[in-house]
Structure 1
Amino acid sequence: MLPCRVALLICFLGSLPALSGCVLAPPGIVEEQEKLAATGAAFEIPQELRELPELPLRPSWQDMLCRAFLANGDLESAYFNWKGALIQVNQAAAWPNSRVALSYSYMFSRENMKAWDRMTISAGFDPSMNLQLPIKVEAAGRVAFEAARETGERFRTAKFDLQRRVLNAYLDLALAAERARIERDNINLLKQLSASAAARAQAGAPLQDLLKVETDSELAKNNLRNLEAEVRAARSVLNGLLARDPNAPLEVAGLPPPRSVIRDDARLIAIAVDRNPELAALARQVAGRQNAVEQALLAYLPDISPTFSVNGSISQTVGAMVMLPTTLPQIQASIDNAEAMVRSAQAVIRQTEKDRAASFVAALYFMRNAERQTSFFHRRLTPLVDQLLNSSREAYAAGTVAFADLIDSKRTYISIRRLVAEARIERERRLAEIEAIAGVDIETLGRPALIATTEPQPVAPQYKP
């Protein structure tokens, strides 16, 4: 039967696997891991096995966002950065942080001794790496956890930035296509004016009217070719964001209907400051650096590495190696540096909060102004220019106005149609910018009041990765 002390040594060695599996994880890590798993389930599928949703010829902006979120490499990289940062929390919070060192020696002697008494078995921790106190490991885990949460907010920033870029590319294509449609209508209108001018010229009217309308017609045809080139370029950019062939067919069915937004601007501004992903990331950075100050202060505590040895039946020893914090200037420098980093991060977050609030308010002003212009054009100008063009055509046919007045009326009509399209697209651009700054989908803010336009305002669900 082995001596009792040897049995104790075996029990100590048997407990080492349990010690190696201990992680002093900070509170909240389980929730963060669940959030990661719910967000990135699609990214865990290898790219070559991932099935991207096929797009119809005229997809909605929700269809485009769905595909972009699954296909974009930058967003996928941000997800795995988040995942890697969370894994590092377990690495930083693992205890014991030092490896177990086992040693064995056998004494050769002419003395009449049992073989067991000639053996010395020792167990301790790696002397090249101090065994830190659990409180120090917990502090390191909190620092790593805040860094992981910051990386999670960076992922959210990347998501909304991609959403803004896809929506802007979609709006670029919609506006280019609308301009091309307006120019085609302009060419058709010029054909009608040309026929009228030709008939009047045959009746003895001045030939200059016919030459003028034909000149405008040729210029309009050239402008249409330029606009069609813009449509192809915008389609290529959007296809690139959707991980498709640049020349893949893709069309938009007219201008997108305006998305609904709540009327409470004060609430929107409060949400922008509260949920901005960049500000949230900086807040995690500040928290992490504050934890780093605490970690640096804990360096004043000594580290203790226990040892245990058995020398046959002759002696059994329990000891400890104490690592005293003698590098006081280095410790103090670490504390001062950590405090300076906290002050730096606090200054950055104060300035960023002001900058983002100013950018949000500016984007909100532009969006509300675009809404005002759209409403104004629909209610006031569009009916007026329609009436102006119709009355000018009738008056020209009756010979009561000059052809130059008719051409001016036509140009005013086309200009107003362009302004209406640009105002509507500008409003949607600013809305995408507002979402990116606030880090929130407008559709998630409850039942909004409809903006004042003559068209219906559907509320479409927002896809989230």
Structure 2
Amino acid sequence: MTWSTRFWLLTIMVVSLAFWTGERHIAYAVDQTPRSSLGLPDLIQEALARNPEIVAARQQWEAALQRITQARSLDDPTLSVQLWNVPQTFNVTQAQNSIFGLSQNLPFPGKLALKGDVASRSAEMTEQALRAKERELVARLKQAYYDLFLTHKAIQIHHEQVELLGQFVESTTAKFRTGKGAQTDVLKAQIELSLLFQQLPILEQRRETAEAMLNTLLDRDATSPLGIPQEPSQIPLDKTLDDLHRLALHERPELKAAELAVQRNEQSRALAQRQYYPDFNVAFQRFQNFQTNDGFGAYVAMSIPFALWTKPKYDAGVQEAAAALSAARAQHHTLENLTRFQVKDLLTRLRATDQVTTLYRTTILPQVEQSLDAARVGYRAGRAGFLDLIEAQRVWRGSQLEYFKALVDRQHRLAELEQVVGITLDRQS
């Protein structure tokens, strides 16, 4: 080996070791930063209390509740004053007749109650829309929480791999110095280590993005510091498909809202049919007569909705209400079918991820660890090549990442299933 080759090789070794040392320092600094554990239940409560979407939906429900009283109330009474035969001098005190009246419109019995029932069902639908928005927010929050967990794990695995490759660099360098190793092994180890260095900024960016998403759902500043998410549990789901179907059909807010829409349209149809009945106007009057006796009077007026020229309007109203009722029933049935499909699909995907995570935990990861140990021992003893060692560490890192990705994917599917079913199924949250 020429002096020039040795010089450049030594330079590469020094630079690589410097980078490795710096990377170890960064890893130490990141790992040692005091970070509290980030509890999911507390985050859910905070999001439900502060998230602007939930606050807006809650206020919409409050507004809908106030419309019930308005719908059940009578129209304002009317106060009237009539002056008859006023002298040309416009002296109103000398009017021959002064009539003071108080009148009130009275809908046919049952109309106001039906209007109140329609408004009440609408308010209940708004409440279920709020519950559905809450379930959606909780699902999104859980997914963001476990996405953040995955970024922390990816960074941790990255630092562990850097540490492992640093050991490879030291081992290959030591073998090369004693004449038992090849120069190419040293260069390959350094190249592999250098490739790892460029991945850390990307991993950090993903962590910051995940933190920003979680902070946004919590209505915090996007840069607010967050703790470290807890590793998800792998408690098996103890619900059968039939159990989940029954729960979803009974608990899902969207289905409750669709059922309430059917009830509201039934009451709207009944109200439309009630429009064939007349409304009334009742008035009480006080007569004051000039230079003669005063007196009292009253009258009752009635609308005529069954006149030949007005009846078609009410016929169309009944037909409109009947069509709206049929549409609401069809939409409710469609949502029931969609719910059954979603439950079946998500449960199947959840069970598949359960099988994958179990396979990784019980079989693949132990085998990968054994393969890495065997490759390391074989390389030191000269029974295995350096490429075998590099490949083993790549498989080790990839398997670790795939395991945690499958674990997080399971939590995503579980969160979606909870949103469809309408209740919490994960005991951890």
Smaller-chain TM-score bracket: 0.7 to 0.9
1:264 equivalent to 2:264? Answer no
Read off the aligned partner of 2:406 and give its amino acid letter.
Answer: A
Structure 1 residue 116, shift from structure 2 partner: 12
Structure 1 residue 73, shift from structure 2 partner: 1.1
Structure 1 residue 267, shift from structure 2 partner: 0.6
Structure 1 residue 356, shift from structure 2 partner: 2.6
1:412 equivalent to 2:395? Answer yes
1:214 equivalent to 2:214? Answer no
Structure 1 residue 60, shift from structure 2 partner: 0.5
Given the two structures, how large is their TM-score scaled by the length of structure 1? 0.77
Residue in structure 1 matching 2:255, options 279, 298, 302: 279
Quick check: 1:363–1:434 contact (8 Å CA) kept in 2?
A: yes
Residue in structure 2 matching 1:144, options 119, 127, 132: 119
1:317 equivalent to 2:297? Answer yes
Residue in structure 1 matching 2:42, options 45, 63, 66: 63
Task: Please give the secondary structure, in 2, of the residue aligned with 1:440.
Answer: coil
Structure 1 residue 296, shift from structure 2 partner: 0.5
In 1: Cα distance, 2:229 partner to 2:71 partner: 53
In 1: Cα distance, 2:64 partner to 2:157 partner: 52
Read off the aligned partner of 2:301 and give its amino acid letter.
Answer: M
Read off the aligned partner of 1:409 and give its amino acid letter.
Answer: A
Q: Residue in 2 aligned with 1:79?
A: 58
> How high is the sequence identity, in percent, across the aligned residues?
25
Q: Residue in 2 aligned with 1:43?
A: none
Q: Which piece of structure 1 moves more, 353-362 or 363-372? A: 353-362
Quick check: 2:101–2:286 contact (8 Å CA) kept in 1?
A: yes
Query: What per-residue deviation string (whole Å, max 9, x for no partner) do you get for residues 313-335 of structure 1?
Result: 45543321010003111111111
* Mapping 1:307-346, distance limit 5 Å: 307-312=283-288, 313=293, 315-325=295-305, 326=307, 327-346=310-329
In 1: Cα distance, 2:347 partner to 2:247 partner: 13
* Mapping 1:344-383, distance limit 5 Å: 344-383=327-366
Task: Please give the secondary structure, in 2, of the residue aligned with 1:300.
Answer: coil
Query: What per-residue deviation string (whole Å, max 9, x for no partner) do you get for residues 110-160 of structure 1?
Result: xxxx999954332223xxxx5312311111111111111000000001111
* Mapping 1:116-155, distance limit 5 Å: 118-125=97-104, 130-155=105-130
In 1: Cα distance, 2:362 partner to 2:37 partner: 29
Given the two structures, how large is their TM-score scaled by the length of structure 2? 0.84
User: RMSD of the alignment, in Å?
Assistant: 2.2
Structure 1 residue 264, shift from structure 2 partner: 2.6
Q: Residue in 2 aligned with 1:425?
A: 408
Quick check: 2:244–2:343 contact (8 Å CA) kept in 1?
A: no
1:157 equivalent to 2:140? Answer no
Q: Residue in 2 aligned with 1:255?
A: 231
Structure 1 residue 107, shift from structure 2 partner: 5.8
- After superposition, the Cα gap between the structure-2 partners of 1:301 and 1:66, relative to the gap in structure 1 and judged at 3 Å, is same
Please tell me whether Structure 1 or Structure 2 has the larger radius of gyration of its CA atoms: 2
Quick check: 1:177–1:254 contact (8 Å CA) kept in 2?
A: no
Q: Which piece of structure 1 moves more, 71-80 or 258-267? A: 258-267
In 2: Cα distance, 1:98 partner to 1:242 partner: 46
Q: Residue in 2 aligned with 1:455?
A: none
Query: What per-residue deviation string (whole Å, max 9, x for no partner) do you get for residues 405-463 of structure 1?
Result: 122211111111111101111111111111111221225xxxxxxxxxxxxxxx34x5x
In 2: Cα distance, 1:189 partner to 1:117 partner: 111
Q: Residue in 2 aligned with 1:9?
A: none
Read off the aligned partner of 2:240 and give its amino acid letter.
Answer: D
In 1: Cα distance, 2:249 partner to 2:286 partner: 64
Structure 1 residue 108, shift from structure 2 partner: 5.6
In 1: Cα distance, 2:86 partner to 2:202 partner: 96
Read off the aligned partner of 2:419 and give its amino acid letter.
Answer: A
In 2: Cα distance, 1:69 partner to 1:411 partner: 42
Task: Please give the secondary structure, in 1, of the residue aligned with 2:38.
Answer: coil
In 1: Cα distance, 2:77 partner to 2:67 partner: 18
Quick check: 1:307–1:319 contact (8 Å CA) kept in 2?
A: yes
In 2: Cα distance, 1:118 partner to 1:293 partner: 47
